[in-house]
């Protein structure tokens, strides 16, 4: 749609500009003793508004010649031809309107359009239309750049969402795989515990389904998910499994991607606690500092590495997921010794108002 007609404010400014041009034309006519103010305004206002209407058509001329598909010679020919037609049309209107005013008013006040004045009107109409063509051409070029940037941003968003869906599809089966293994093992040992665990797992998966499709959830929701998960694992490991949470009060309302902490606890149990005869304690530390949210998960390891099966979380997937959400504004690192494994995450601190501030 036309950029002037589609915006009321632009339209009013455009009309106001041409009214000022009408006053300027009238002032020049009066200054050269060609007529009085009343007649000058009667003459200049209609021809100025017509010129404004005529000049607005320059936008469609520019649109008919896409910048990336035109040649300089064709553009120059079209632009000059359009400006020439505009100048002649405006000159014709000036002569015609002058005759109409002569017919309905006192001839002594009429503007006598001499050859010199005709040339001046023609050159003015030609120049104004040519300037309008150049102005609209620049506007269209910048509008195309903005549109390309919007399309690129939309493409990046779609690519990010697609990547997140792929990563989630790789992570989600991991929960079901290990859960079924746990139930299978408990069935042969303690049928009542297996039944209790099945019910608990149903509650756990119900919660995961509620939050899995969200891009961000509160830290409180993630911790509640972790508590439900650990309640299930407690049935399996008993006193062998210990957990210590250290969560700073100011970090409780932070927004984080869903299901980033629970799978880390699952990995800590699978690759750490499960392989220790006496078990151990998983330590989770969460705090906010300098507008960043820091999460650390530490678990003990067996001195003798044990083989394990299953999909696993995939720390590289975790990094990719963070990059898809935060770009370079997040960090996932880990280190392993003979006795423990430590994973640390840092991400921009966001609160419920979804306003993020970076360090």
In this prediction, residue 174 has a pLDDT band, given cuts at 50, 70 and 90, of low
Query: Final residue of a domain: which of 150, 171, 204?
Result: 150
Closest CA to 234 of 275, 202, 186, 165: 186
How many C-beta neighbours within 10 Å does residue 182 have? 19
User: Within this chain, do residues 207 and 353 fall inside the same structural domain, yes or no?
Assistant: yes
Q: How many domains does the chain have?
A: 2
In this prediction, residue 202 has a pLDDT band, given cuts at 50, 70 and 90, of confident
Task: Indicate whether 191 pLDDT > 90.
Answer: no
Task: Indicate whether 70 pLDDT > 90.
Answer: no
In this prediction, residue 168 has a pLDDT band, given cuts at 50, 70 and 90, of low
In this prediction, residue 311 has a pLDDT band, given cuts at 50, 70 and 90, of very low
pTM: 0.52
User: Within this chain, do residues 200 and 337 fall inside the same structural domain, yes or no?
Assistant: yes
pLDDT in tens, 97-134: 888 888 887 666 667 778 888 898 899 999 999 999 99
Give the C-alpha separation, 95 to 308, whole Å.
Answer: 94
User: Within this chain, do residues 54 and 134 fall inside the same structural domain, yes or no?
Assistant: yes
User: Within this chain, do residues 25 and 79 fall inside the same structural domain, yes or no?
Assistant: yes
On whether the CB atoms of residues 108 and 31 are closer than 8 A, the answer is no
- Hey, which residues does 342 pair with through a beta bridge? 298, 335
Residue 344 lies in a domain: yes
Query: Final residue of a domain: which of 99, 123, 150?
Result: 150
User: Within this chain, do residues 282 and 351 fall inside the same structural domain, yes or no?
Assistant: yes
User: Within this chain, do residues 229 and 345 fall inside the same structural domain, yes or no?
Assistant: yes
User: Within this chain, do residues 135 and 13 fall inside the same structural domain, yes or no?
Assistant: yes
Q: What pLDDT does 283 receive?
A: 95
pLDDT in tens, 223-276: 988 888 888 788 778 889 999 999 998 898 899 888 788 888 888 888 889 888
Query: Final residue of a domain: which of 150, 166, 199?
Result: 150
User: Within this chain, do residues 93 and 220 fall inside the same structural domain, yes or no?
Assistant: no
User: Within this chain, do residues 250 and 113 fall inside the same structural domain, yes or no?
Assistant: no
What value does the mean pLDDT take over residues 318-345?
85
Residue 177 lies in a domain: no
User: Within this chain, do residues 112 and 211 fall inside the same structural domain, yes or no?
Assistant: no
Give the C-alpha separation, 4 to 18, whole Å.
Answer: 13
315-326 and 115-189 are packed helices; what angle lies between their axes, rounded to 10 degrees?
150
Show the domain range for 300.
190-357
User: Within this chain, do residues 331 and 194 fall inside the same structural domain, yes or no?
Assistant: yes
User: Within this chain, do residues 252 and 301 fall inside the same structural domain, yes or no?
Assistant: yes
């Amino acid at each position: 749609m036309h950029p002037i007609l589609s915006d009321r404010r632009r339209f009013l400014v455009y009309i106001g500009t041409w009214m000022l041009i009408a006053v300027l034309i009238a002032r020049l006519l009066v200054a050269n003793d060609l007529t009085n103010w009343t007649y000058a305004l009667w003459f200049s206002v209609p021809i100025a508004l017509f010129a404004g209407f005529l000049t607005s058509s320059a936008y469609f001329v520019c649109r008919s010649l896409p910048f990336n598909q035109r040649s300089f010679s064709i553009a120059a020919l079209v632009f000059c031809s359009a400006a020439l037609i505009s100048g002649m049309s405006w000159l014709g209107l000036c002569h015609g309107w002058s005759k109409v005013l002569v017919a309905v008013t006192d001839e002594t006040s009429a503007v006598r359009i001499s050859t010199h004045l005709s040339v001046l009107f023609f050159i003015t109409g030609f120049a104004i239309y040519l300037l309008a063509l150049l102005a609209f051409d620049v506007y269209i070029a910048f509008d195309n750049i903005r549109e390309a940037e919007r399309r690129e941003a939309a493409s990046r968003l779609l690519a990010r969402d697609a990547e997140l869906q792929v990563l989630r599809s790789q992570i989600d089966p991991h929960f079901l795989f290990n859960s079924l293994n746990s139930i299978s093992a408990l069935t042969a040992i303690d049928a009542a515990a297996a039944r209790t665990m099945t019910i608990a797992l149903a509650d756990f998966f119900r919660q995961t389904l509620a939050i899995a499709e969200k891009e961000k959830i509160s830290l409180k929701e993630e911790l509640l998910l972790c508590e439900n998960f650990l309640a299930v694992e407690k049935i399996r490991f008993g006193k062998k499994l210990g957990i210590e949470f250290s969560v700073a009060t100011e970090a409780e309302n932070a927004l984080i991607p869903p299901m980033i902490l629970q799978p880390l606890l699952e990995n800590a149990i699978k690759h750490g606690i499960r392989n220790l005869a006496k078990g151990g304690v998983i330590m989770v530390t969460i705090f906010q500092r300098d507008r960043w949210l820091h999460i650390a998960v530490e678990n003990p390891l067996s001195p003798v590495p044990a083989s394990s099966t299953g999909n696993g979380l995939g720390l590289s997937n975790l990094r990719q997921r963070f990059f898809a959400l935060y770009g370079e504004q997040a960090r996932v690192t880990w280190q392993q010794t003979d006795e423990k494994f430590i994973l640390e995450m840092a991400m921009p601190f966001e609160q419920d108002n979804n306003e993020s501030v970076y360090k």
